[in-house]
Amino acid sequence: MAISQRQIQTQTQTLSPQQIQMIKLLELPTIMLEQRVKQEIEENIVLEEDDRPLEDDEQEESISVDDYLREDDTPSYKSRINNFSKDDKQRPVNISEGRSLQEYLMEQLGYRNLSEQDRQVAEFLVGSIDEDGYLRRDLESVGDDIAFTLGIEVSVERLESLLSIIHQLEPAGIGARSLQECLLLQMSQRRMDSPSKRLAHKIITSYFDEFVKKHYEKLMSRLGVDEDTFRDAIDEIKHLSPKPGNLYSEGGIDTTPYIIPDFRLDYHDGHFDLSLNSYNIPEVKINRRYVDMIRNMVSADGTVTESNREAIQFVKSKIDSAKWFISAIKQRHDTLMRTMQEILSFQQEYFKDGDKSKLRPMILKDIADRTGLDVSTISRVVNSKYVQTHFGIILLKSLFSEAMQTESGEIVSSYEIKNLLQQCIDEEDKRHPLTDETLMNILNAKGYCIARRTVAKYREMMDIPVARLRKQI
């Protein structure tokens, strides 16, 4: 078969670097956008922070070295509105973090009489403890890592001995390898001075699987105790913490998370006031010294020497990148406000008082049709974005819900179904909790056509366990 060449014309759609940059900026929440802007200022030499915003015309002018060379020397006070007070100046917020859990544990190890080698191994074990306070790796794997990282050969028995020392540290239960061990470690630091505590210890030690599965009648029969005695023992177990790492929260981002809202929505006298929370995001501008540098490199007749051509090209590329970045930031702000305005218009009744029963069924396509944007763009806008209202901080994604139809033909939000489920579960007999099938029958009787698997899906979305695990005595 002969080899031949053919020319085929095809049409493909690709994203430009500017579009990719815009998409990435659109996904960022406010706190990450602030970091991204500061990172761009560090990486691009022509960008600098400005306390006052640039004029729109100046941001959108065409990108050309000739345009920069033809710029006039109009003083900045003639092209800016200088109505800023000294109090409006951005001030950094200094947040002091306390010690982490690992630092707290290592401080306690300092009071133990350990050799230098044992101290290194114990600190490695502490560093392997996760944020919940558990050591979720087997000691054989930890020993291999210690040999590879520290060059220390240590046996599993020695690791067990050092881990037992860590188990004696505060908070109680730290370094456990399972929930059962965690609860037993916490009970071992308590005085067994009552029958209920001794019974609780026996339940965790010998009947832990039955306890987890809430086979209470079987446990009472095997232990030979009455209901009141058994209930007292269960109450003792409930006082223990399944995640001892959470008991230590002196500082750190994981233990004390903060939410910075992306929007601020005020409601006064029947009117909404929506604004974008960009107070901590630094305003950026192009440093005019580099424009002057280009002007000085160009001779009076407009020619450029060969030695200066490369420098001019480098500065021009940085100026282009800066203009694209500033334009992408502005486009991000416009897209966010445009989308949030339509969400506010769609859910206006809800935003008046925060009553979730007033939430209308809304999907991403509804807002995409209203704004004229793509569904993927709306998804990026609402993802990880929050709005601060007079009734609390709301995750935008939580405002979207499916539409369901009742027997009468009325369209309701899935939030209404979830509220009814929550109400039924709150009012149920905890000795005989309602199963998913029973909940389905209750909702069907009220006119909501819903399947059992949908009840199970909504229950899991609300972090409500199955009926067997909700059982109490």
Any domain includes 27: yes
Given the structure tokens 């763009």, which residue do they identify?
377
Same domain, 46 and 140: no
Per-residue exposure over 394-425, b if at least 16 CB sit within 10 Å of its own CB, e if not: bebeebbbeebeeeeeeebbbbbbbebbeebb
Dihedral pair phi/psi, residue 413, rounded to 5°:
-85, 155
| Model pLDDT, residue 5 | 82
Q: What are phi and psi of 448, to 5 degrees?
A: -100, 115
The answer as to whether 2 is a domain residue is no
Amino acid 322: pLDDT: 86
Cis peptide before 171 (omega within 30 of 0): yes
Angle (nearest 5°) at CA 385 between 382 and 386: 120
Judge if 331 and 456 occupy the same domain.
Answer: no
The verdict on 333 and 429 lying in the same domain is no
Has residue 121 been placed in a domain?
A: yes
The range of the structural domain enclosing residue 204 comes to: 177-251
Last residue of a domain, one of 381, 398, 415: 398
Predicted confidence at residue 26, as pLDDT, reads: 83
Q: How far apart are CA 378 and CA 369, in angstroms?
A: 10
CATH number at residue 410: 1.10.10.60
Return the pLDDT at 92. Answer: 44
Tell me, yes or no, whether 115 and 36 share the same domain.
Answer: no
Instruction: Give 123's contacts (C-beta < 8 A, 6+ positions apart).
Output: 106, 109
Report how far apart, in Å, the C-alpha atoms of 387 and of each of 261, 364, 391, 398 are: 5, 17, 11, 11
In a domain, 20, yes or no: yes
- 388 with 336, same domain? yes
Residue 52's pLDDT is what?
Answer: 57
Mark whether 376 and 308 lie in a shared domain. Answer: yes
One domain, residues 267 and 358 = yes
150, 122 contact by CB (below 8 A): no
Are 181 and 164 in the same domain?
no
Whether 11 is covered by a domain: the verdict is no
Per-residue pLDDT in tens (0 to 9) along the chain, 473 residues: 678 788 888 777 666 777 777 788 888 888 788 888 888 888 888 888 876 544 444 444 444 445 444 444 434 333 333 444 444 444 444 444 557 888 888 889 888 888 999 999 999 999 999 888 899 989 999 989 998 888 889 899 999 999 999 999 988 899 999 999 999 999 988 888 888 999 999 999 999 988 888 888 888 888 898 988 998 988 898 888 888 887 665 444 444 457 788 899 998 888 999 998 877 777 888 888 887 777 777 776 667 777 777 888 888 888 888 888 888 889 989 999 999 999 999 999 889 888 877 888 888 999 999 999 999 889 988 888 899 998 888 988 888 877 776 776 667 777 778 888 888 888 888 888 888 889 888 888 888 888 888 888 888 888 888 887 787 77
In contact, 147 and 154? CB cutoff 8 Å: yes
Q: Is 64 helix (H, G, I), strand (E, B) or coil?
A: coil
301, 323: one domain? yes
Residues 6 or more apart in contact with residue 73 via CB below 8 angstroms: none
Is residue 271 assigned to a domain?
yes
84 part of a folded domain: no
Decide which of 228, 251, 274 is a domain's last residue: 251
Q: Give domain status of residue 423, yes or no.
A: yes
The structural domain count of the chain equals: 4
Residues 111 and 233 in one domain: no
pTM for this predicted structure: 0.56
Q: Domain boundary residue among 189, 218, 251? A: 251
pLDDT at 205: 92
CA 187 – CA 199 distance, rounded (Å): 11
Q: Are residues 156 and 105 in the same domain?
A: yes
Which pLDDT value is given to residue 51?
Answer: 61
Q: Are residues 190 and 143 in the same domain?
A: no
Contacts of 399 (CB under 8 A, 6+ apart): 343, 347, 350, 359, 362, 382
Angle at which helices 452-461 and 436-445 cross, to 10°: 110
First-to-last alpha carbon distance for the chain, in angstroms, is: 83
